[in-house]
Structure 1
Amino acid sequence: MAEAVVSVSLELLDSILLPTAGFIGEQVRLVGDVDEEVDKLKNNLQAIQAVLLDANQKQMNNRAVRVWLNRLKDACYDVEDVLDEWNTEIMKLKIEGGYVHNAFAPKKKVCCLFPSPCFGFKEVVLRHNIAVRITEINKKLDAIAKEKGDYNLNVIPTNERPNYQRMQTTTFIDVSDICGRDVEKNNLVRKLLCGSSEQRLQIISLVGMGGIGKTTLAQYAYNNGEIKSNFKSIIWVCVSDLFDEFKIARVIIEGLKVPPPNVGDLQSLLQRIHDSIAGNKFLLILDDVWNEDHKKWEPFYHCLKNGLHGSKILITTRKKSVAHIMKSIDIINVEELSFDENWLLFRRLALSKRPTHESEKLEEIGREIVKKCKGLPLATKTIGSLLQFKRSRDEWQRVLHSEMWKLEEIEKGLLSPLMLSYNDLPSSIRKCFSYCAIFPKDQRIGKDKLIKLWMAQGYLGLEKDTKLETIGEEYFHHLATRSFFQEFSKYEDVIYICKMHDIVHDFALFLSNGECLAIEVNIGDNDPFINSSNKNVRHLMLKVNKGVSFPMSICSVKSLRSLLMISDDRENALSGDVLQNLCKLTCLRSLRFPNYRVEEIPKDIKKLIHLRYLDLSSQYIVQLPESLSELYNLHTLDINDCLDIVELPRGIEKLVNLRRLINYGCLALLYIPKGIEKLTGLQTSSDFGISSEGDNDSKACSLEGLKFLNNLDQGSLTIRGLGFVKIASDGKINQLLTNKENLTRLTLQFYKWKKMERRSFQLITPGGGVSCEDYELVLEALLPPPKLEWLKIKDYRGNTFPSTWITSLTKLKSLFLWHVSNCKNLHPFGETAVP
């Protein structure tokens, strides 16, 4: 992880000091005689970076090296903060001086670079402070750099470093199938289907060490057709380390598909379960149970006995004592795979895609490596996924004889293959993996949101000519092929959700060394940050359950870079005091609190100058503060389903790095500000509202403004209010959509909604002077994008659809027409589906 942080700092430093950036180069001089300190900073970082791969390997057996790496990480985070602040100040000068690219005007000349109307004494002092902070950081790095000699750290030769290759040419391998285990599978199914047990509630246990395949066997049972037909309800609960009675009870109620009780105390939850399973033959699967306190299990046991005779509970656990405490008599011991079964699994991963002659040369070494995996399927999957990318015998020999096989932390026999696979990753992908420790165990992880979070931390680089989302896709795919992710949900063969095996999650936590943390706060819990051991956390996922006050101590953790809050209850609210204090977490790069009852965002949001990702979705916000437009680094603003929001900041044009404006479902938002036309890097704007007469035309972006957003080609786009558009006499609107080559989903809505009161809307229509021909002219002028696959047209009052549209929709797969009553006939659509 330290290597990754150093890389980010160096890349950020280079981006500021590029010799071609004339304006930026001039601004550097404003901070005084800082050239020497900047050179020293860069030299220190490069010298340390050269030995970091060796340090990462030695830290496993040398605690002093690990402490040294932690000190280095802290210093580099300070470097990143000060450089980002510096870069932001330069950006601010450029924006306020008019040097940012503008679609309507040529670039201006550089103004005077010394105190003048362009900037004042306050700005010069700020730049001087930045110089002072760089000097202070250099003192820390000097000491750290000198200490590296104490640990005999070596520079790893280039030919032994991980060689990252773009992933487009590799084939994704899904390793979720069970290899072998026929005896265990048959035994488990037999026990679950057997109805002759004298126990009213039979409890079956799968017991074995971590990574042995217990969860995979339980999943096999959960998805088995014969078992599904034998039980009315099948419920899956991931229990994990902490036996959280409230969480377990709520998940069981959800699995039973009954409404939860109005009161959230444990007794009410258990009573609802007791009543709901009466006469119900159910199978409850409790995965990864650790609890050895029978008092916590006892209320559940008595509650669940109310089910129909033949109901079963299946638990997976690493401890046989847990099975006994939970009154389990039927215990299936899940042993290591036989060598032959393990070899088949390994060969399928590492050798199946190679020519026969190449596989034969590697088979002998492969068999020796499989022996080191000790019959653990997870170890075999991990190391097999690593070796599928290694082509030569030398590379395989290096893995076979690695010192990493001597490591025994995390879980016996599993740290070695995980660490081998991890160390083989480029530093840019390592930091992406360790960041995943922010998610709780068994959390379903959305791929797109994960990529946005990586981007916010700078993990995907600062490239200007490459879409960072594409790099994120490649990194995700790389980790998936190495078996760091599993249990994929796909749509048309594209992964959109995944999970991490609990052992892999433990490994990610081990690597993050306290930087990543997931906390769930319930009634009666202690303040999570009273304990000083949490003070160094930098990435936090927080779930505050119903009836619990927000733990204000979190606002004292000034080092936080990610704060992702979760709420399952729309009644949870964040008060103005909480939000005001959150604005003091000035190191934040990601801030997310959807589904909370928030009505106003404080003006002090502008203090979060490093913020890249802001998720305010499903809030009660009426208006975003104008100061939000001072978040110059923001690349994602998510206001999805903010039904009450009526206006975006007029200064939205200052958000020069905004790539995604996710605003679908903002029905009260009648128009988009005119300044959005200048955000030529914008890739996503879910909902584009067109102003009608009297809708502050001077402030609103017109339909023609779409033509400046040439990169607006990701995801889907909705254009609302087309019925209010007046087409010029030439009947042409040039290249509004036709130049958006990757736009595949489009909604054209001719009417729009007007907000009457909170969450209450009225459909508004164009005035009586608008004819059927006016509608047809708009549609004829607005030619579709070339790769459109999905089209919805709403409230269209034309008599026919222009032939230019019909002939242009060559890629269309789905067409939805809503309220198009005037249209008497449709031209032939060929293979187009018309629901």
Structure 2
Amino acid sequence: MGPEVAVALAVVGWFVSPHITKLMEVARSCASSKYKLPRGMRKKLLKLAEDLGDIKDFLDDPAIMGGSVNDRTWVNRLWSLKDAIHDAEEILDLFESHILEAEAAKNLKKRSGGGGGSASSSGRKSAYSWWIFTTNTSGPSLNQLKEVLKNLGELRERMRELCENPTTRSAVLSPLCRAPLGPEPVREKKLFFGYAVEYEQLVSMLGDGNCKDKKVISLIGHGGMGKTELARQAYRHVRGKFDRPIWVPAYGKNAQFDLLAEIWKSAVGEKSVQEMNISSLQDKLRAQLASQRCLLVLDDVWRDEKDINESERRNALRCFTDFVGVGSRIVMTTRSRICSTKLGAQETIFLNGIKPEEMMLLLNDTANISADGTIGIQGVLKLKGSPSAAIEIGEKLKARRAGCGPEGRGGILENIECHIAGVVASHLASYDHLPPHLQRCFALCSIFPDGWRFEPEKLSKMWMALGFVEEKGMEDVARGYFQELVDRSLFELEQSKGGGDKHNRYVIHEHIHRMIRDASSKNCISISRASTADRTSIPPRVRHLSVTSGCLDQLSEYSIGLGNLRTLIVLKDDGDDDGIAAIDKDILQQFKGVRVLDLTETAITGLPASIGKLKHLRYLGLPSTVSSDLGDQVTKLVFLQTLSVGQEDKGKKRECITNISGIGRLVKLRESIEFQVMRGSEKEGHGLWELAGMKSLGKTLSIKGLEAVASKEEAKQARLDNKCSVKVLKLQWGAPDARHGEPVARSSAAADPAPAVAVLQGLQPHRYLHELRIARYPGETSPTWLSGLEKLTRLYLKNCRKLKALPALGQLPCLELLEIKELCVVARIDGGFCGGGAFPKLKKIVLDDMKELVAWNDNDMPKVAFPLLRDVSIADCPLLSSLSGLGRCTGPIHLRVKGCPHITPDTLPAAFRNGVSTCKFH
């Protein structure tokens, strides 16, 4: 399979995605907008949704898109159709952005007192939205929409005609195939270089006669890493120790019958299985192999995306292992970890390449030349440990060993990476086997340099910004896509020196990276000083571009292609440690269609002045050198989903987001944010109402300065109940005194507990919240909604100094951790704390610095409570004298006590005295 076919596969994968469905939804949503649109525009939007639906139905037909695409005319039409759909997406983006701007203007007018519910007010709003769509030169026009509809219609009809041509259909549906490999080694054992440790390990696993288990062993490695040859060598070495050695070319044999038939053919030597069904085939295999010690090698196993085939393949192996004798072995060679897992491998051997000195020996032997230093170590390192690459270069050297010029041996050695096309092409099979949604995600990686260390979260958010990920549960889906690529061995983990998951980076093998550059060359390119010599433009079909900072200014010379880009990543030049310090605003605004803009590797200190003109921007990556005050331009990016600062500099990022005035305009933002409520003249742009429309906020929402909120009605404007993606909510009043940690009263709300109670009641979140933290709350009672948080697993109450009693939490079904600190007036914990429940999942409770707490007693508590509680920590409760409530716990408790002088071993419940539970005094 050549690069042209891979490029075709890339465009096919683009269509088999949620992209078109999402555009249909946006078109219908814009058409049904409550804002007034120019005459005829609503009808055209509905027509666009209908045409997109027709195209989707047409391309969803397996007979149309089910095979590989080898017909050049067909592929070109697909690319043209893709361009037309991109144009449709551009205009729909503009519609949606102006509707969002109209909504923001309406809300601002309403808060300033200029809006209301009267007919005249409604008329003014309609007039405003009419102005948005008719006078704003950056907005969509009816003529643009008509042109998009015309292009889509023409292309659709041309493709229908093409598909109705029998000659074209047969070309389109020609299948890809791979030649099966037999069990005989290519090289004699004495000439088999490398993998000595892995070879001995495999032979040991196969030849252990004392092991009676039936074991499955997997050999995992990239294409060209020597999996099949290693399996062949071991197969030849140990076959005499088995009653029946069986070698099966497993590629494409996913159905249960097909795999069993291949096992039958290899084991028995009979080729015909035409008159057999699964049952009769199983019976014949059982009769032949029953109780025999068998060695089965499944060479070239691939992941099948159809779950039913995966299940059938597992059934076939289960059937085989059921009737073979003890000590039998199954060896599979595969490129993917996921295949090893799915087929139940108990042992795994990873082949990551042979050593440089072994590569040298293999090269010299293949080329039939002496080890005279002609092949230098630097050349060997370019082969990345691939035995197949070494053999490919060796064969070329052997064929040209009489030459000495650029076309002879010297030319090959100087440009080794250009002479391993066979190995690179073998990786195209890995790309071909990816499902379409993973193909388009993986293709984006081609614009990063060789050896790039990928951050999973950052890359996932770029995919989200580009529309590669389904809308529902987007973050989880994107993380799943990345893990699927890891499972297929396309990403390799590189652990940084810092250690820990947060430092994890992943790399792509150089040969695979070169393959995806070839496969995505129509759509993705990189520009550097080395690649600009002959370039005069960016091809109009390129959508994703990386450019080194030294070439950024040159892009203004490329009059074609900049406006079509969806991704722009600015990288450092080789040898440049600091990065570019400023970006010309005139260059940046030429990228009018960009969705992903990553400036992380620059050294800019402020946002470019023209950033607000990038209306489609969804991902913005900034360096850690940028000022924390991003200015007003950022709030014009109404589609912005992700704001990344530095190498995930969380402190700087939090500061940047907190300082954004009018952040409520960023209704698509999917970040965790810290929101500082302000009061008086400072409140404009920092009132709770800014949060109202931000329904997509990320994992953590922290709201500080709640003493500035005057009423329940104002609190409810935050609409915390509609932020279902928020899993962690932090609510904080006051500001700590630098000396004593006391809350500083900045308004009457901080001193008077009554408004605070109403405010907290108005901050009711959605009921699926996982974690809640409340700090410095000055109210005397808990909110009624607290007992309804059915998914809450962690609750922290800190410095709520006027709260008179603990909330009733016993009925919370998922609560695992409860941490209570500095509740200064709570005197007793009793049955009211349980609220009729028994804390079914609570595992740990912390009580700290509760100066008035006298007792945790068992009054009115359930007879059996806290069934899973194991860890209790109590500190600095000087009046506490009774812990009888712990006597209702059913399991052993590990209690730690500090600063509680009245708690002694004699005052503890019986479980502590008889040794069931333990207590440690500090």
What TM-score do the two structures reach when normalised by structure 2?
0.52
Is contact 1:583-1:607 (8 Å) kept? yes
Q: 1:117 and 1:638, CA in 2 relative to 1: closer, same or farther beyond 3 A?
A: same
Q: Give, in angstroms, the shift of residue 442 of structure 1.
A: 3.8
Structure 2 residue 476 is matched with structure 1 residue 470:
yes
User: Residue 775 of structure 1: which of 798, 801, 826 is its match?
Assistant: 801
CA distance in 1, matches of 2:33, 2:823: 53
1:588 alignment counterpart: 594
2:670 alignment counterpart: 659
Residues 330-355 of structure 1, C-alpha deviations (whole Å, 9 max, x = no match): xxxx9564287699999999999x9x
Q: Give, in angstroms, the shift of residue 587 of structure 1.
A: 0.9
State the SS of the aligned residue for 1:380: strand
Is contact 1:444-1:498 (8 Å) kept? yes
Q: 1:746 and 1:647, CA in 2 relative to 1: closer, same or farther beyond 3 A?
A: closer
What is the correspondence of 1:178-197 to structure 2 with a 5 Å cutoff?
184-186=194-196
Q: Give, in angstroms, the shift of residue 710 of structure 1.
A: 4.8
What is the correspondence of 1:581-730 to structure 2 with a 5 Å cutoff?
581-594=587-600, 596-616=602-622, 618-638=624-644, 640-642=650-652, 645=656, 648-662=659-673, 673-684=687-698, 686=700, 688-691=702-705, 708=720, 710-711=722-723, 714=726, 722=734, 723-724=743-744, 725-726=750-751, 728-729=753-754
Structure 2 residue 484 is matched with structure 1 residue 564:
no
Is contact 2:246-2:267 (8 Å) kept? no
Q: 1:53 and 1:80, CA in 2 relative to 1: closer, same or farther beyond 3 A?
A: farther
User: Residue 75 of structure 1: which of 76, 81, 84 is its match?
Assistant: 84
State the SS of the aligned residue for 1:564: strand
2:761 alignment counterpart: 734
1:49 alignment counterpart: 59
CA distance in 1, matches of 2:470, 2:894: 42
Structure 2 residue 300 is matched with structure 1 residue 380:
yes
Q: Give, in angstroms, the shift of residue 435 of structure 1.
A: 2.7
Is contact 1:717-1:745 (8 Å) kept? yes
Residues 10-59 of structure 1, C-alpha deviations (whole Å, 9 max, x = no match): 32442134389743696474538736963784377347625797468454
1:553 alignment counterpart: 555
CA distance in 1, matches of 2:138, 2:301: 52
Q: 1:658 and 1:467, CA in 2 relative to 1: closer, same or farther beyond 3 A?
A: same
Q: 1:713 and 1:88, CA in 2 relative to 1: closer, same or farther beyond 3 A?
A: closer
What is the correspondence of 1:134-149 to structure 2 with a 5 Å cutoff?
134-148=145-159, 149=161
Q: 1:100 and 1:117, CA in 2 relative to 1: closer, same or farther beyond 3 A?
A: closer
Q: Give, in angstroms, the shift of residue 454 of structure 1.
A: 1.6
Q: 1:428 and 1:383, CA in 2 relative to 1: closer, same or farther beyond 3 A?
A: closer
1:131 alignment counterpart: 142
Structure 2 residue 541 is matched with structure 1 residue 515:
no
Structure 2 residue 418 is matched with structure 1 residue 418:
no
1:330 alignment counterpart: none
The one-letter amino acid of 1:67's match is N
Q: Give, in angstroms, the shift of residue 106 of structure 1.
A: 11
CA distance in 2, matches of 1:348, 1:726: 75
How many pairs align?
Answer: 618
The one-letter amino acid of 1:414's match is S
Is contact 2:493-2:504 (8 Å) kept? no
User: Residue 545 of structure 2: which of 533, 540, 547 is its match?
Assistant: 540
Q: Give, in angstroms, the shift of residue 562 of structure 1.
A: 1.7
Identical-residue share of aligned pairs (%): 16
Q: Give, in angstroms, the shift of residue 648 of structure 1.
A: 3.2
CA distance in 1, matches of 2:531, 2:676: 38
1:255 alignment counterpart: none
Structure 2 residue 757 is matched with structure 1 residue 743:
no
What is the correspondence of 1:230-309 to structure 2 with a 5 Å cutoff?
none
User: Residue 119 of structure 1: which of 130, 137, 161 is its match?
Assistant: 130
Q: 1:438 and 1:511, CA in 2 relative to 1: closer, same or farther beyond 3 A?
A: same
State the SS of the aligned residue for 2:146: helix
The one-letter amino acid of 1:775's match is R
Q: 1:654 and 1:55, CA in 2 relative to 1: closer, same or farther beyond 3 A?
A: same
1:320 alignment counterpart: none
2:413 alignment counterpart: none
CA distance in 2, matches of 1:497, 1:833: 39
CA distance in 2, matches of 1:495, 1:833: 34
CA distance in 2, matches of 1:378, 1:525: 45
Residues 476-498 of structure 1, C-alpha deviations (whole Å, 9 max, x = no match): 44444444444487999999754
What TM-score do the two structures reach when normalised by structure 1?
0.56
CA distance in 2, matches of 1:69, 1:436: 22
CA distance in 2, matches of 1:708, 1:594: 32
CA distance in 1, matches of 2:564, 2:764: 44
Is contact 1:86-1:127 (8 Å) kept? no
Is contact 2:635-2:666 (8 Å) kept? yes
Q: Give, in angstroms, the shift of residue 601 of structure 1.
A: 2.1
Residues 781-805 of structure 1, C-alpha deviations (whole Å, 9 max, x = no match): 89999867789999x6959899699
Is contact 1:8-1:80 (8 Å) kept? no
CA distance in 2, matches of 1:833, 1:467: 41
CA distance in 2, matches of 1:413, 1:117: 57
State the SS of the aligned residue for 1:16: helix
State the SS of the aligned residue for 1:591: strand
The one-letter amino acid of 2:555's match is S
State the SS of the aligned residue for 1:184: coil
Q: Give, in angstroms, the shift of residue 600 of structure 1.
A: 2.6
State the SS of the aligned residue for 1:660: coil
Q: 1:801 and 1:362, CA in 2 relative to 1: closer, same or farther beyond 3 A?
A: farther
Is contact 1:453-1:613 (8 Å) kept? yes
Is contact 2:615-2:637 (8 Å) kept? yes
1:437 alignment counterpart: 446
**Structure with more contact order per residue of length (Cα contacts < 8 Å, sep ≥ 6):** 1
State the SS of the aligned residue for 1:85: helix
Q: Give, in angstroms, the shift of residue 584 of structure 1.
A: 3.5
Unpaired segments of 5 or more residues in structure 1? 163-180, 191-208, 217-333, 369-376, 397-407, 752-771
Residues 239-285 of structure 1, C-alpha deviations (whole Å, 9 max, x = no match): xxxxxxxxxxxxxxxxxxxxxxxxxxxxxxxxxxxxxxxxxxxxxxx
CA distance in 2, matches of 1:121, 1:680: 22
Structure 2 residue 229 is matched with structure 1 residue 212:
no
The one-letter amino acid of 1:683's match is L
Is contact 1:630-1:654 (8 Å) kept? yes
Residues 611-655 of structure 1, C-alpha deviations (whole Å, 9 max, x = no match): 122233634324232342232222223453328659534322222
CA distance in 1, matches of 2:229, 2:19: 46
Larger Rg over CA atoms: 2
CA distance in 2, matches of 1:619, 1:789: 41
Residues 49-90 of structure 1, C-alpha deviations (whole Å, 9 max, x = no match): 25797468454x444443333333323222221222223233
Q: 1:108 and 1:571, CA in 2 relative to 1: closer, same or farther beyond 3 A?
A: farther
RMSD: 6.3
The one-letter amino acid of 1:623's match is D
The one-letter amino acid of 1:656's match is V
